[in-house]
């Protein structure tokens, strides 16, 4: 009935799998938990030990094939019709996690159910990780509110195999970021419904300030590629960064913003590493970077 799919990269999944396994046994449904290592070098032994648990499987890929390709491969490998995709750096905060998803399995296979995510309490976060914590807390969508305009998050969702096979993750997106953005739009294009419920996982693997900025930089570049190659005009208007960049471009200010970014970018990054990072500065950094990418691509 239910396959739990956890793409894994250099992470010990033991706490996550133990909790999932206990809840699945209590549910008394047919299930499997599949871990697939995407070119991992660390924690292979610890994750392999989890196969001693009933219906837990562990597959090691020698090379990293990327965030989109591994999800597609795992869906093909899964034995059941209903799939839950989870990030490996998740923890289960509530004992009803599996039961909540089972309650949303209906005859209507065209509905994709997103559970959302929460972050660990601020008291447990050190200053080196503040930027990611503030961004995740203040900017990422609230899973408890069902809003059709909410961006799709791929860290925790339930989907029927037939729906996934109709959409899949775009494997041309080789670099980091926004593969879930495109996946959400593709679901909407094919008239699949996205339902949001309050069934979050806790995101344990916060990035350090430097790591978060590095990933943000990569995701902005990937968003530009997405805009050029995949997104429809009306979809671009639903993404705040693309909408702002479009308005700047219509005013003929793209080159000016890119020029300003060459001076202001390093200053903004320094400010973002403070103990009280202001997310408006992150917005300005991303906008300046996006304009710089536009200018560079047109040369």
| Spatial separation of the C-alpha atoms in residues 12 and 89, rounded to whole Å | 8
**For residue 12, pLDDT beyond 80:** yes
pLDDT reported for residue 148: 53
DSSP strand pairing (193-196 vs 111-114): parallel
Please name each of the domains of the chain with its CATH number: 2-206 (3.90.550.10), 228-297 (no CATH)
pLDDT reported for residue 284: 97
pLDDT reported for residue 143: 58
Range 190-214 average pLDDT: 94
Give the 3-state secondary structure of the chain.
CEEEEEEECCCCCHHHHHHHHHHHHHHCCCEEEEEEEECCCCCHHHHHHHHHCCCEEEEEECCCCCHHHHHHHHHHHCCCCEEEEECCCEECCCCCHHHHHHHCCCCCCCEEEECCEEECCHHHCCHHHHHHHHHHHHCCCCCCCCCCCCCCCCCEEEEEHHHHHHHCCCCCCCCCCCHHHHHHHHHHHCCCEEEECCCCEEECCCCCHHHHHHHHHHHHHHHHHHHHHCCCHHHHCCCHHHHHHHHHHHCCCHHHHHHHHHHHHHHHHHHHCCCCCCHHHHHHHHHHHHHHHHHHHCC
Range 113-134 average pLDDT: 93
**For residue 176, pLDDT beyond 80:** yes
**For residue 5, pLDDT beyond 80:** yes
Mean pLDDT value across the chain: 93
Lowest mean pLDDT, pick from 4-8, 34-38, 139-143, 273-277: 139-143
Lowest mean pLDDT, pick from 82-96, 103-117, 144-158, 270-284: 144-158
**Could you tell me the pLDDT band of residue 97, with boundaries at 50, 70 and 90?**
very high
pLDDT reported for residue 275: 84
Task: Using the structure block, give the residue that is written with the tokens 């990030």.
Answer: 87
């Amino acid at each position: 009935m239910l396959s739990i799919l956890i793409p894994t990269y250099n992470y010990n999944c033991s706490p996550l799998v133990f909790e999932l396994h206990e809840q699945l046994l209590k549910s008394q449904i047919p299930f499997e938990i599949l871990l697939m290592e995407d070119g991992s070098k660390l924690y292979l032994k610890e994750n392999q030990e989890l196969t001693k648990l009933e219906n837990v499987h562990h597959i090691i890929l020698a090379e990293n094939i990327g965030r989109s390709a591994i999800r597609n491969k795992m869906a093909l490998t899964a034995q059941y019709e209903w799939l839950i995709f989870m990030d490996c750096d998740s923890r289960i905060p509530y004992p009803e996690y599996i039961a909540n998803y089972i309650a949303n399995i209906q005859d209507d296979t065209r509905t994709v159910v997103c559970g959302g995510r929460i972050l660990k309490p601020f008291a447990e976060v050190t200053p080196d990780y503040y930027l990611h914590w503030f961004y995740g807390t203040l900017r990422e969508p609230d899973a408890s509110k069902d809003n059709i305009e909410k961006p799709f998050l791929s860290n925790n969702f339930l989907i029927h195999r037939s729906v996934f096979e109709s959409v899949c993750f775009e494997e041309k997106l080789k670099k980091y970021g926004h593969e879930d953005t495109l996946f959400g739009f593709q679901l909407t294009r094919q008239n699949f419904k996205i339902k949001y419920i309050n069934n979050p996982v806790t995101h344990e693997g916060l990035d350090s300030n430097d790591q978060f900025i590095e990933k943000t930089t990569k995701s902005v570049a990937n968003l530009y590629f997405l805009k050029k190659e995949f997104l429809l005009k009306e979809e671009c208007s639903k993404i705040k960064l693309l909408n702002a960049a479009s308005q700047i471009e219509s005013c003929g200010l793209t080159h000016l913003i890119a020029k300003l970014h060459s001076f202001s970018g390093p200053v903004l990054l320094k400010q973002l590493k403070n103990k009280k990072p202001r997310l408006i500065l992150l917005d300005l950094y991303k906008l300046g970077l996006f304009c710089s990418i536009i200018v560079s691509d047109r040369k």
